[in-house]
């Protein structure tokens, strides 16, 4: 598949809207576009346009993503950059992979493409109705972990601010919007960053991201809502970058992970699943610990 984007049209908004998790760095006569490791890219640069071809995507083994499974539900550890539902820019998505595994699979909720972690799939209509009612009555317990800019001491701190989505696909705090509540607690503080536990009560688009931006503690890498990329040079003393190379962020996406989820199964049994950090999030935490 071949794409061509005029250089002048590439902006921060377009970067997010397009769905491609690339980062931009200036080069003479154009831009450098960096894709995640599951893309193999061939890139040409010239004054007016950047062309790239995604020749193939690494095939994902759905079974390797499964954290929990019974007769009614599957909980997977969604990798970053993989869409929950169909995406015209991608050959693979969680829903299609799940339906190859079990025909009647239905997604019970969604995660942003860049967000990793726990995602629940119903294996039959009865299971879907059961958990849908729990989501509607806000009885599903969801916990996210996020690395944010700055040092913050939150202890079960509630943000209760309604959200509205603009026609550009960006959420914002708006009293005329839909009700949204999130609780925040600080798990660990570092030199100039904080690892937070985030518990959304409602499930609005970009809810955690915009609520943290509202608190002036945006998520690292979330440039859409005021977060900054985190570079090793900002943490490590005597950091030396090889001449002629560009420094990349430690984590090249929004630093948000769906850490755990808990709900009741069809027989009333409690199902609680925790998702380990993916490699990039784990590396970020290790670097923060190492350079406190």
Beta-ladder partners of 236: none
The structure tokens listed for 203 are: 């499930």
User: Could you give the C-alpha distances from 58 to 39, 82, 91, in angstroms and in order?
Assistant: 7, 11, 10
Half-sphere exposure of 291 (CA within 13 A, CB side): 19
Q: What is the DSSP letter of 178?
A: B
- Number of other residues whose CB lies within 10 A of the CB of residue 191: 10
Which residues touch 105 (CB under 8 Å, ≥6 apart)? Answer: 74, 95, 98, 99, 121, 122, 123
CB 121 within 8 A of CB 74: yes
Q: What angle do CA 186, 16, 5 make, to 5 degrees?
A: 155
Q: Rounded to an integer, what distance in angstroms lies between the CA atom of residue 152 and that of residue 142? A: 21
| Catalytic residue chosen out of the listed positions 72, 112, 222, 280 | 112
* Rg over CA atoms, the chain: 20
Contact 150, 192 (CB under 8 A): yes
Q: Rounded to a whole number, what is the distance in angstroms from the first to the last CA of the chain?
A: 44
| Annotated catalytic residue 61 | no
Residues marked active site are found at: 112
């Amino acid at each position: 598949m071949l794409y061509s984007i005029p250089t002048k049209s590439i902006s921060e908004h377009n970067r997010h809207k397009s769905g491609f998790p690339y980062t931009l760095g200036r080069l003479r006569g154009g831009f450098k576009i960096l894709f995640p490791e599951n893309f193999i890219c061939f890139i040409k640069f010239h004054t007016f346009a950047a062309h790239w071809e995604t020749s193939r995507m690494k095939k994902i083994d759905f079974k390797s993503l499964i954290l929990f499974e019974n007769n009614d539900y599957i909980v997977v550890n969604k990798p970053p950059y993989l869409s929950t539902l169909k995406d015209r820019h991608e050959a693979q998505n969680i829903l299609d992979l799940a339906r190859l595994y079990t025909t009647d699979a239905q997604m019970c909720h969604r995660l942003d493409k860049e967000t990793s972690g726990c995602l629940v799939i119903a294996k039959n209509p009865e299971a879907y109705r059961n958990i849908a009612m729990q989501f509607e009555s806000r009885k599903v317990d969801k916990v996210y972990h996020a690395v944010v800019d700055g040092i913050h001491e939150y202890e079960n701190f509630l943000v209760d601010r309604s959200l509205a989505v603009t026609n550009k696909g960006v959420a914002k705090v708006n009293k005329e919007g839909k009700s949204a509540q999130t609780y925040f607690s600080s798990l660990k503080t570092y030199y100039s960053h904080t690892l937070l536990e985030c518990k959304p009560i409602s499930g609005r688009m970009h809810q955690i991201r915009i609520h943290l931006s509202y608190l002036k503690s945006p998520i690292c890498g979330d440039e859409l809502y005021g977060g900054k990329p985190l570079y090793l040079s900002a943490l490590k003393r005597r950091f030396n970058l090889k001449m002629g190379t560009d420094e990349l962020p430690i984590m090249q996406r929004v630093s948000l992970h769906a850490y755990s989820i808990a709900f009741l199964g069809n027989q009333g049994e409690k199902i609680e699943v925790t998702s380990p950090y993916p490699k990039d999030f784990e590396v970020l935490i290790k670097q923060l610990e190492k350079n406190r």
